[in-house]
Chain A
Amino acid sequence: METLGHLAHGFSVAFTPVNLLWCLLGTTLGTAIGVLPGLGPALTIALLLPITYQVAPEASFILFAGIYYGAMYGGSTTSILLNTPGESATIVTALEGNKMARSGRGGAALATSAIGSFVAGTIGTMGVAFLAPVVVKFALAFGPAEYFSLMVLAFITVSAVLGSSSVRGLTSLFAGFVIGMIGVDLQTGQPRFTFGMTELLDGVDVIIAAVGLFAVGETLYMASRRYAGKDEIVPLKGSLYMTSAEWGRSWKPWLRGAAIGFPIGAMPAGGAEIPTFLSYAIEKKLSKHKEEFGTVGAIEGVAGPEAANNASAAGVLVPMLTLGLPTSATAAIMLSAFQSYGINPGPLLLTTQGDLVWGLIASLFIANVILVILNLPLIGLWVRLLKIPAPQLYAGILVFATVGTYGISQSPIDLVILYLLGAAGFLMRRFDFPTAPVIIGMILGPLAETQFRRAMTISNGDWSVFYTHKLSLTLLTLAFIGLAGPHIWAFIEHRRRRGPEHVPGDA
């Protein structure tokens, strides 16, 4: 109950007209930068750091938190409508979201993502307020061995996006590993696959890869097909927002997404991408409309990952506010903002800066409300984008993707990479290779490698760490069940129905 008192006090800090204005400004700005690929919340907050010299700490943190949450909302918009993810956490959203938009349900996809973000963001923020000490203990129990097992679990999500042919899907996945390996190896400091180019030492940005493979590849593919002279504009089907059936199909994925996203976000090396992969795989497994996945677009595949990424955004704040641990680029920059005020973020932050921390948490609740109010009416406006005739729309996407990519680090080399990957995306599309596994491989491959090597360094080469640590063993078991379970289940079903003399494969 003490927490409620603190929270009430926090609301009294956040509810001053000036702070509400900062919150509105932050969320609006955040939505805008989330929409642009390349401009992320970390970069934006870094550029705004000098305002910490001018305004009170509460105001600037409320602004930064608004930007952070806003970017998570905005990132999904372009994923859904243009297949151009603005943030790495919204890459999965593009898979089903864009399919939905193509079949006339863009409004519903945007609505479920906005409302799901609100629901998960609110749950996540409540988690920050009430569960932080418990969650942090759990998160710290995760060492390299546990992370590696979590990656193994995440790898089974690949099977959900492989498409019709596993060989093609796995080929894409391994291509992703190779791209992910470009750059300086963190463990030894040696460059890999950089061909002597300094620009490649930091690796290929996953946003550039996603924009290149999805957006540029798609555009080239569209352009390569003979133009029939008439534009097919997809009419909006049904309600602009969500039908009651879609509500019914969305609420469970929202809650599941929040439950996956928050704890993983709170882990020091969890991030926002892995929970979106996991949520997508689970929703595909549980959905009663599996045939819609990858064809007309399934709303569960948007609702779950969108909820997961917003809940993980809240999760990231847990180690930051309770321990002073920055676990994402954005959190690290927010911590450096604390320092410009002479506040040292650490385990004592909650006691020494109660006003600030609780004001910040309260403003997160307010930011969520503002964001959903801001985003729902905008849906009507956004979906009109799809009424633009195809040649103009795709030309626009190309410009948008190029400008956004250049914005990441103002490097011409990035543009070359973008178009090389765009060409690769086009060829993959042409020869029916799925592109999503490339991105998953790029994100998970290096993470799994790093954690595996860290675990082996710490254990001095002893493999047993992966099964003697209880958490790690549990995760590996879950991964095994996820992978082998359906086959075993199918085998048992088969035997039961057809009698013991028939074994699958028998002609």
Chain B
Amino acid sequence: MLNRRRFLMSTAAAGAAGLVASHLSPAFAEGAPQIQLFVPAAPGGGWDQTARTMDQVLRSEKLISGSQITNVGGAGGTVGLPQFISQWNGKGNSLMVAGMVMVGAIIANKAANNLTQVTPIARLTGEFEALVVPADSPFKTAADFVAALKADPTKVPVAGGSAGGSDHILFGLIAKTVGVPATNLSYVPFAGGGEALSALLGNQVAAGISGFGEFSEQIKAGALRLLAISADKRQDGIDAPTMREAGIDVELFNWRGVFAPPGVSDADKAAMITLVETMAKSDAWATECKNRNWTSILLTGDDYAKFVTEDSARIEAILKDLGLA
């Protein structure tokens, strides 16, 4: 009985999806389409800002006629993801904003769905992370920090974002590469960058790890000292070595990108990749990235899919070491 009902429903759904798809496919790519953006987070955060900035740039570049943004927040995106997979299936004009945080949340929350079930379109931006210490800290270089960490990791409390987030992952990676067991680390998670920052300014902790943008103004004002950044190469205007140059063989971008729902046609996928690529190469997008301390790290289609798989494996391994997966 149940089987028959499920069978009937699925054929009906497939039929409906087919109808919608055949209706949308050719229309989507032509002219300036209307698109749907799905943000699996509450308004105001990084993903939401990515979606709203995309909407702004796409419209100003006349690439779309408009967009509708839907927010379904909660649990690092793992509340929104199942909805995007089931309810947005086959909608060729839709994109979900997601990123490294969701990869971590899927693993830590043991979520039933993951990013292999959606269609990777493009990785757009990344924020490299910074390792900082208060201005009057005895640590002058990253090597000093590593030496202290090796001597006794429990004596080096490090502040950052929530447990299992990108900051915690980077700390785990640093410890792993310099040979300190991740389970001994003294990591002090804070709900937001602001609280972690105040713990640093108040000399409550030995060091801090977070997105470079969270710390940049304090570094400029001399309240914090920047020891190293997790970017792949030196950055213009930032007077600090990369982790690699400082002897810590780690590179990490807190990346954000977009995914189409499952079941979209190849034509829609290709059109969407072109659309997003055109946007990401525009001057307007470059200006927005500069204002927001985002680094453009464009990667599309299959390369992006491969990257997501590799990054998931790396994050899962480090979360296991940290005891979170």
Contact = CB atoms under 8 A, between A and B. Distances in A.
Interface in A38-69: 42-43, 45-47, 49-50, 53
A319 B218 CA distance: 13
B197 A325 contact: yes
B44 A333 contact: yes
Nearest to A325: B194
B75 A326 contact: no
Interface stretch (B1-9, B29-37, B89-97, B199-207): B199-207
A349 B218 CA distance: 11
B195 interface: yes
Contacts of B42: 43, 46, 409
Interface in B218-242: 218, 220-221, 223
Contact of B216 (A186, A344, A454, A460): A344
Contact of B163 (A189, A344, A410): A189
Given A189-B163, A269-B195, A336-B44, A184 B75 contact: yes
Nearest to A143: B204
A460 to B, nearest CB: 5
Contacts of A329: 44
Contacts of A268: 194-195, 198-199
B217 A344 contact: yes
B19 interface: no
A382 interface: no
Interface stretch (A74-82, A198-206, A494-502): A198-206
Contacts of B186: 457-458, 460
Interface string B176-205: 000000000011110111110111011011
A49 B205 contact: no
Given A186-B191, A201-B109, A339-B291, A346 B74 contact: no
Nearest to B74: A202
Interface of A: 42-43, 45-47, 49-50, 53, 139-144, 184-191, 198-199, 201-202, 268-269, 319, 323-327, 329, 331-333, 336, 339-342, 344-349, 409-411, 454, 457-458, 460
A346 B44 contact: no
Contacts of A140: 198, 201-202
Given A46-B42, A339-B292, A326 B192 contact: yes
B73 A409 contact: yes
A189 B221 contact: no
A394 B128 CA distance: 53
B162 interface: yes
Given A186-B162, A268-B195, A323-B198, 20 more contacts: A43-B42, A43-B44, A49-B43, A50-B56, A184-B109, A185-B163, A186-B189, A187-B189, A189-B168, A190-B324, A201-B74, A202-B74, A326-B194, A342-B290, A344-B216, A344-B217, A347-B221, A458-B186, A460-B155, A460-B157
Question: What's the interface size class on B, roughly?
Answer: 35 or more
Interface of B: 42-44, 48-49, 52, 55-56, 72-75, 78-79, 82, 108-109, 111, 154-155, 157, 162-164, 168, 186-189, 191-195, 197-199, 201-202, 204-205, 216-218, 220-221, 223, 290-293, 323-324
Q: Which 9 A-B pairs have the closest CB atoms?
A: A346-B217, A46-B43, A46-B44, A189-B163, A201-B75, A268-B198, A189-B164, A347-B221, A143-B204
Contacts of A186: 162-163, 189, 191
A324 B74 contact: no
Contacts of B75: 184, 198-199, 201-202
B48 to A, nearest CB: 7
B52 A49 contact: yes
Contacts of A50: 52, 55-56
B157 A458 contact: yes
Contacts of B290: 342
Given A201-B75, A336-B49, A454-B188, A325 B216 contact: no
A190 B322 CA distance: 12
Contacts of B187: 457
Nearest to B81: A198
B164 A346 contact: no
A117 B78 CA distance: 40
A184 B79 CA distance: 13
Nearest to A319: B198
A45 B52 CA distance: 13
A198 B78 contact: yes
B46 to A, nearest CB: 9
Contacts of B163: 185-189
A333 B52 CA distance: 13
B73 A144 contact: no
Nearest to A454: B188
A198 B73 CA distance: 11
A42 B198 contact: no
19 contacts: A45-B44, A46-B43, A50-B55, A139-B198, A143-B202, A189-B189, A191-B109, A198-B74, A198-B82, A199-B75, A201-B78, A201-B79, A202-B79, A326-B194, A339-B291, A346-B216, A346-B221, A347-B221, A347-B223
Given A144-B204, A184-B75, A325 B157 contact: no
Given A53-B56, A346-B218, A457 B188 contact: yes
A342 B163 CA distance: 30
Given A198-B111, A326-B194, A42 B189 contact: no
Contacts of A53: 56
A390 B223 CA distance: 59
A139 B192 CA distance: 17
Contacts of B82: 198
B6 to A, nearest CB: 22
B217 A324 contact: yes
A347 B201 CA distance: 11
Contacts of A42: 44
A444 to B, nearest CB: 16
A327 B199 CA distance: 12
Contacts of A269: 195, 198
A332 B44 contact: yes
A184 B155 CA distance: 26
B74 A409 contact: yes
Contacts of A139: 198
Contacts of B79: 198-199, 201-202, 411
Nearest to B201: A140
Contacts of A411: 74, 79
A342 B202 CA distance: 27
A336 B293 CA distance: 11
